[in-house]
Chains A and B, each alone.
Chain A
Amino acid sequence: MRLKGIAASPGIAIAPAFVYRAVDLIVRRRRAQDSAAEWARFERAASTALRELASLRARATAEVGEAEAAVFDAHEMILRDPELEGSLRAELEHGASIEAAVEVVFAQDVATFEAMEDPLFRERAADFADVGRRVLRILLGINEDPLSGMNAPAVIVAQDLLPSDTARLNKFLTRGFCTAAGGPLSHTAILARNLGLPAVVGVGSAVLEIGDGQQLIADGSEGWVVVEASEAEQAAYLARLSDMAAARRTALANALAPAITRDGRRAEVVANVGFPGDERSALDCGAEGIGLLRTEFLFVGRQTAPSEDEQFRAYHEVFSAMGSLPVVARTLDIGGDKPAPFLSLPHEENPFLGWRAIRIGLARPDLLKTQIRALLRAGNEHTLKIMFPMIATIEEMQAARALVGEARTELAQRGMPAAEAVEIGTMVEIPSAALMAEELIPHVDFFSIGSNDLTQYTLAADRGNPAVASLSDSLHPAVLRLIDHVIRVAHNHGIWVGLCGELAGDPSAIPILLGLGLDEFSMGAAAIPAAKSLIRELAWAETQALAREALAQSGAPAVRALVQQWRERQPSV
């Protein structure tokens, strides 16, 4: 039997079905006498539910990632919603039991969201169903953990999966997903993509006829589910599966090896990390360090600035995982498009040209020094490098560097250990910094090119605005010439240059950047294995010639065409 569904997460899983059916929660009708007592039961159940959500959140953060964990923030909001009390009490006043009230009120929510036009909003119905079920289950005293019954590798078959179902699933035994409901934006689909497991969703009610233990093939690339496949079908899928597995194994195995060109030049390939925890997947993908540790997660949306100790703990987690591998921390890059309520930033007409990043840091040295102290403490006995974002002038760099000295003195006065021999760098995001590289040299130990902002400031094109998106191509010769200038100046003085931005992981850009002499490529973890294997296929001498040609082009499309032709001429490895 072949069933067609939506290809929601690529890959092929061949395994027996594990049919997941949620326990039926049956609410017996009873007339409640004491609405105050019913309400008190709700309050107890809600606080149990909030504890469960907190632990699910922690587990999801550890096992899947921050994006998955954020679902449980939404669940908490649903439970803490001030309107919920009124709706429930209205039911209680009509003599309903609290179980019946919860059932009715959440069913209304589910109906409201299922009726919405926008599919993204429709998907929220599942969250309300999930929270309602959780509270009801607690009220009924049912201890539910059906997915924990899974004890062998399997494809999970279900009507649909709710976030709290999947938070408990055994990701080592789960081979894939197959659901009757859901679309490409459904929770199951997003989870599967995060876990890198195949998923076929929206297959329809035929899925529910699949029996527990029946042999399944879930083809998340094409959107097929094959039940009890014929031998020929099975063989064809097995062949595809082993090709895919071999390719992935090779990429991952090679990912841990260094990226050295055919003629022996080594490029350092490192990761951009945005949240504590991301560094682990970066290491798995073969990162040789962190080229950009974003620190905004500590600041954005906060009513009060994070304390030195809070920051220390967050950074320490990252440094511990990285051991002696280098970690380049970018100091706070808030303001402009990244809000920080504790700063009560004024509204700006031109936030990208306004009060942000180092400009705030230098105006509020208390904030910046607190962060630097936390970094120096956390980086002690590790390889910490600090870079300052949005440097436009030499004076800013001097002032920022001086703050590192002050922070170090303050720690010494407290008798606290601080990282020694910390390299200090400028993030080159503003054309003025690129053009003044020579004058910056005495004040820096390295440069890191922030190619996204450098492109938007060079071409005066907001990268978030689709109307001008085509203008902001980082392969424009104007941007490449700035990068070339920075690298040449730096290398004349024996200083290394990195690049953290989309460009570093772009297969069209890598040969050019390598040819320009870039020392360090910093990119999203997922891009690392492919970037490393590309670098290994290249010869540095040839990329140098390519880079010179690219610099001489008249525009970004010409550069892209040039690289494409060049790559087609390359011997494939």
Chain B
Amino acid sequence: MNETALVIRNKVGLHARPATLFVQAALRFQSDIRLIKDGHEGNAKSFRAVLALGVNQNDRVLVRAEGLDAAEAVQALTDLVEANFGEA
């Protein structure tokens, strides 16, 4: 299992385009990937689950992956978040 804590810096949080990009990135991996906020957990490959967590700017979240490509999955999602979803 791989896990990492991240802070969402994007100004609208995990909403609309950032949520779309996040889920699209998660869908590229085989592993089961979970996004966890304040003890609530959602399937990172599910747009509704990710949106329903209501992740806002400066929220701390956990990304947890289990499976063959768990490390790569966590790394890719971390990169996406660290890069602020490509927004300047």
Contacts and interface: CB of A to CB of B under 8 A. Distances in A.
Interface of A: 70, 73-74, 77-78, 80-84, 109, 112-113, 116-118, 120-121, 124, 128, 296, 300-301, 303, 336-339, 341, 344-345, 347, 351, 464
B86 to A, nearest CB: 4
B21 A83 contact: no
Contact of B51 (A70, A124, A300): A124
A81 B46 contact: yes
B33 to A, nearest CB: 11
B1 interface: no
B2 interface: no
Contact of B79 (A74, A78, A116, A339): A339
Nearest to B72: A344
A464 B84 CA distance: 11
B52 A464 contact: no
A300 B86 contact: yes
Given A78-B48, A81-B46, A82-B45, A117 B54 contact: yes
B40 interface: no
A81 B49 CA distance: 9
A65 to B, nearest CB: 14
A192 B49 CA distance: 30
- Which range contains the number of B residues in contact with the other chain? 20 to 34
B15 interface: yes
Contacts of A116: 52, 54
B49 A464 contact: no
Most chain A beta-carbon contacts within 10 A, residue among B21, B54, B85: B54
B80 A339 contact: yes
B88 A337 contact: yes
B83 A83 contact: no
B54 A74 contact: no
A337 B87 CA distance: 7
Contacts of A301: 21, 24-25, 80, 86
A120 B17 contact: no
A347 B79 contact: yes
B12 A120 contact: yes
A111 to B, nearest CB: 11
B47 A121 contact: no
Contacts of B47: 74, 77-78, 80-81
Contacts of A73: 17, 20
B15 A121 contact: yes
Contacts of B84: 337, 464
Contacts of B19: 74
A112 B40 CA distance: 15
Given A109-B48, A117-B54, A301-B86, A77 B79 contact: no
Contacts, number: 90
B64 to A, nearest CB: 17
Contacts of B76: 341
B20 A74 contact: yes
Given A77-B24, A82-B46, A109-B48, A120 B15 contact: yes
Interface in B26-71: 28, 43, 45-49, 51-52, 54, 56
B71 to A, nearest CB: 12
B23 A77 contact: yes
Contacts of B49: 81, 83
Contacts of A303: 28
B47 to A, nearest CB: 4
Contact of A77 (B20, B28, B82, B88): B20
20 contacts: A70-B16, A74-B17, A77-B20, A81-B48, A83-B49, A84-B48, A116-B52, A118-B15, A124-B16, A301-B24, A301-B86, A337-B83, A337-B87, A338-B83, A339-B86, A345-B79, A345-B83, A351-B83, A464-B84, A464-B88
A464 B75 CA distance: 24
The 8 A-B residue pairs whose C-beta atoms are closest, nearest first, are A339-B83, A77-B47, A83-B46, A300-B86, A81-B46, A81-B47, A338-B86, A120-B15
Contacts of A120: 12-13, 15-16
A83 B49 CA distance: 8
Contacts of A70: 16-17, 20
Most chain A beta-carbon contacts within 10 A, residue among B23, B28, B83: B83
Given A121-B54, A337-B84, 11 more contacts: A80-B47, A81-B48, A83-B48, A113-B51, A116-B54, A118-B13, A300-B86, A337-B88, A339-B79, A345-B83, A464-B84
A81 B45 CA distance: 7
